[in-house]
């Protein structure tokens, strides 16, 4: 199993776990766990493959990915109560999934189009999409709208992978570097509350001004 | 018209009606009815065809499906006030749509890939997707998060269709059995409040623990 | 650059600006602006291309579209505070995007399938989809659920373009007529509060009756 394949299965598995953890927070039943696990685990990659014109999508070609999601859903159903904070576990697993997925998305985008711009965009979008889908389906506030750095982590990992690949780095090195950078950025944001300066409305004007 | 075609048009038509009923609950105008009817009616099948790599999707090839959605939207606009409870009507029609769609999704998945795993997943996902899309667009709490059994109904119908097809049952029998099982499970959940044991947080710990 | 190409880039650019404006209302950081700008700008066209079976989608073939979205995101990040009401700016730009996108969606649908029904549906759906996606991601009440006319504007523009094309009008004339009609209808709704009669529940019955 190559490093890319390992990243691929890891990304699917940990995103599936975050979907199941979201199900646990909503107190769904076992099938609800499996459904959210599957949708979150394979959602980003499904979007990536559709955009790149690679349909049938990856898990239709290799149903093992679905089996992995189901296994993670069952595992979380029976072990989630063991964790001190399921939300903390969810966001850290989400960080791992984000790191794996941004490299996979960029790698597939680069292989399909040879355009660095496209690779960075598919890497960033598909890494963020699984978590967005999970939050929408579980009716939770989107991770996208929280102040800590999120999309930037995926973007920096996808960009580092793409640029170092373009400059001739071997695939395993570019993949590893991209995943580590993405995890470092997101992990730092989680551990230390890293943020970028947000947009601020003019003083004296409320940001939610209505028409 | 074969039984499969009948199921197909029925699924689209009744999901379209549930979209229009959601529009009536939001007091939209006629065009809002048609839009929600169309998106809900053809949403699940669109996802199914995209995932399986069968684009242009079904209603692009046969626009009659769109005409059916428009007709249901108009019908509901002028008759919804006749019903005692529009919400009750919505969930029962949704149950019929779910039953028809889970068989159609599994049948198309099986025909396209010959993989029972894929067939069960496409059947389940596409049956649930129309209702999820409707609830998101209408900004209603998702049917997915309610305690009564929902995804399980689609899953059991898709699984029975797939397994009996694999064991050599004729198409009409497998279709009928799958649709009846799905409707029975969902109908029982609606009529008698059937639920599975939900995940429960450890005693003394609130399920919405935050980081 | 033909009129259609101009409409295409305009639609992407102004929808991207509305995505960035939604990010400003949520006080996201610069990367949040770029992400919402890109998703809103290219979301409708991505759906259109997927439905019509034209994958890889348009911005994968021509990454300039992504560059346009990024530029709009940066521009809005540094200038949004100059506007009296960012919400008013958002809805008017959204009206321009809607007008451009409904013609482009119908033109691509007509070219791909030669079916007027399909062209009208793809024009309407893809024009509305960018704004819907933006509102879902930014967790704002959907523009779809507001009383003023919205989908109808896209529908009328797509229909006028399609019918005049079918009747032999030159492409530039049909495009211009469709875009102007759509903008006129939506602009009138914004300026004068135009609405259609909404569905009204029976007197004495609350519209949110539950099961």
Q: What is the distance, to the nearest Å, from the Cα of residue A59 to the centroid of all Cα atoms in its chain?
A: 17
A133-159: average pLDDT = 90
Of C53, C125, C199, the CB nearest to B23: C199
Residue percentage of chain B with pLDDT more than 70 = 94
Q: What is the largest CA-CA distance in chain A?
A: 58
**Which chain A residues are within 8 Å of B195, Cβ to Cβ?**
29
Q: Among positive and negative, which fits the CA dihedral C159, C164, C165, C171? A: negative
Search chain C and give the residue with CA nearest A198.
C29
Query: What torsion, rounded to 10 degrees, do the Cα atoms B41, B42, B43, B48 define?
Result: 130
CA-based nearest distance C78→chain B, Å: 32
Subunits next to C (3 or more Cβ pairs <8 Å) are: A, B
Above 50 in pLDDT, residue B90? yes
Hey, which bits of A7-91 come out as E strands? none
Cα–Cα dist C9/C15, whole Å: 10
Q: Which residue matches tokens 């189901």? A: A70
CB contact under 8 A, C198 and B46: no
Reference A77, options A15, A137, A17, A13; nearest CA is A17
Q: Distances in Å between the alpha carbon of A24 and those of A11, A95, A165, B157, C18?
A: 20, 19, 39, 25, 35
Q: What is the pLDDT of residue B168?
A: 94
Q: Which residue matches tokens 């009440």? A: C141
CA-based nearest distance A26→chain B, Å: 7
Of A51, A112, A144, the CB nearest to C137: A144
Cα–Cα dist A96/C59, whole Å: 28
Structure tokens, C91: 């809805």
A176-202: average pLDDT = 89
CA contacts within 13 A on the Cβ side of A118? 21
Above 60 in pLDDT, residue A208? no
Contact A40, A130 (CB under 8 A): yes
Above 80 in pLDDT, residue A115? yes
Q: What is the pLDDT of residue A146?
A: 82
Search chain A and give the residue with CA nearest C47.
A51
Above 70 in pLDDT, residue C99? yes
Q: What is the distance, to the nearest Å, from the Cα of residue B3 to the centroid of all Cα atoms in its chain?
A: 18
CA-based nearest distance B109→chain A, Å: 9
Above 60 in pLDDT, residue B202? no
**Which chain A residues are within 8 Å of B141, Cβ to Cβ?**
139
Tens of pLDDT, residues B140-192: 888 888 888 999 999 999 999 999 999 999 999 999 999 999 999 999 999 99
CB contact under 8 A, A25 and B207: yes
**Which chain B residues are within 8 Å of A77, Cβ to Cβ?**
199
**Which chain B residues are within 8 Å of A143, Cβ to Cβ?**
none
Search chain C and give the residue with CA nearest B35.
C151
Q: What is the pLDDT of residue B177?
A: 97
Q: What is the pLDDT of residue A205?
A: 47
CA-based nearest distance C34→chain B, Å: 24
Q: Distances in Å between the alpha carbon of A136 and those of A80, B47, B72, B125, B145?
A: 21, 17, 28, 16, 11
Cα–Cα dist A125/A152, whole Å: 11
For chain B, the first-to-last Cα distance in angstroms comes to 56
Q: What is the pLDDT of residue B83?
A: 80
Q: What is the pLDDT of residue B201?
A: 64
Structure tokens, B54: 């069968």
Q: What is the pLDDT of residue A202?
A: 52
Q: What is the pLDDT of residue A204?
A: 44
Q: What is the pLDDT of residue C205?
A: 47
A178-185: average pLDDT = 97
C34-45: average pLDDT = 95
Q: What is the pLDDT of residue A186?
A: 95
B9's CB contacts (< 8 A; 6+ apart) are B1, B65, B68
For chain A, the first-to-last Cα distance in angstroms comes to 56
Higher pLDDT, C80 or A201: C80
Above 50 in pLDDT, residue A169? yes
Q: What is the pLDDT of residue C87?
A: 82
B51-62: average pLDDT = 93
**Which chain C residues are within 8 Å of A196, Cβ to Cβ?**
29-31
Reference C105, options C45, C38, C54, C163; nearest CA is C45
Tens of pLDDT, residues C149-189: 999 999 999 999 999 999 999 999 999 999 999 999 999 99
Q: What is the pLDDT of residue C202?
A: 52
pLDDT tier, B55 (very low <50, low <70, confident <90, very high otherwise): confident
Tens of pLDDT, residues A48-105: 999 999 989 999 999 999 999 999 999 999 998 888 777 888 889 999 999 999 999 9
CA-based nearest distance A174→chain B, Å: 29
CB contact under 8 A, A27 and B200: yes
CA-based nearest distance A197→chain C, Å: 6
| Contacts across the A-C interface (CB distance below 8 Å) | 100
Tell me which of A8-12, B89-93, B135-139, C85-89 is least confident: C85-89
Q: How many residues does chain B have?
A: 211
Cα–Cα dist A151/A144, whole Å: 7
Search chain C and give the residue with CA nearest A109.
C60
Q: Distances in Å between the alpha carbon of A162 and those of A5, A64, A117?
A: 17, 28, 9
Q: Among positive and negative, which fits the CA dihedral B74, B80, B81, B82? A: positive
Task: Specify the 3-state DSSP secondary structure of B77.
Answer: helix
Domain spans, chain B: 3-192
**Which chain B residues are within 8 Å of C144, Cβ to Cβ?**
28, 32, 35, 137
**Which chain B residues are within 8 Å of C198, Cβ to Cβ?**
27-29, 32
Q: What is the pLDDT of residue A210?
A: 44
**Which chain C residues are within 8 Å of A109, Cβ to Cβ?**
60
């Amino acid at each position: 199993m190559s490093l890319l394949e390992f990243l691929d299965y890891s990304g699917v598995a940990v995103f599936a776990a975050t979907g199941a953890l979201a199900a646990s927070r909503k107190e769904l039943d076992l099938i609800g766990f499996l459904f959210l696990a599957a949708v979150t685990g394979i959602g980003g990659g499904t979007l990536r493959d559709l955009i790149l014109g690679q349909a049938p999508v990856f898990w239709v070609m290799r149903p093992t990915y679905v089996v992995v999601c189901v296994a993670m859903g069952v595992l979380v159903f029976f072990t989630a109560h063991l964790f001190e904070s399921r939300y903390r576990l969810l966001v850290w697993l989400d960080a791992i999934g984000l790191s794996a997925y941004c490299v996979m998305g960029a790698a597939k985008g680069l292989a399909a189009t040879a355009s660095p711009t496209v690779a960075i965009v598919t890497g960033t979008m598909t890494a963020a999409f699984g978590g967005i889908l999970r939050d929408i389906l579980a009716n939770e506030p989107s991770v996208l709208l929280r102040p800590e750095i999120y999309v930037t982590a995926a973007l920096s990992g996808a960009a580092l992978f793409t640029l170092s690949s373009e400059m001739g780095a071997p695939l395993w090195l570019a993949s590893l570097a991209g995943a580590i950078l993405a995890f470092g950025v997101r992990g730092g944001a989680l551990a230390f509350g890293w943020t970028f300066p947000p947009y601020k409305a003019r003083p004296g004007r409320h940001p939610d001004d209505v028409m």
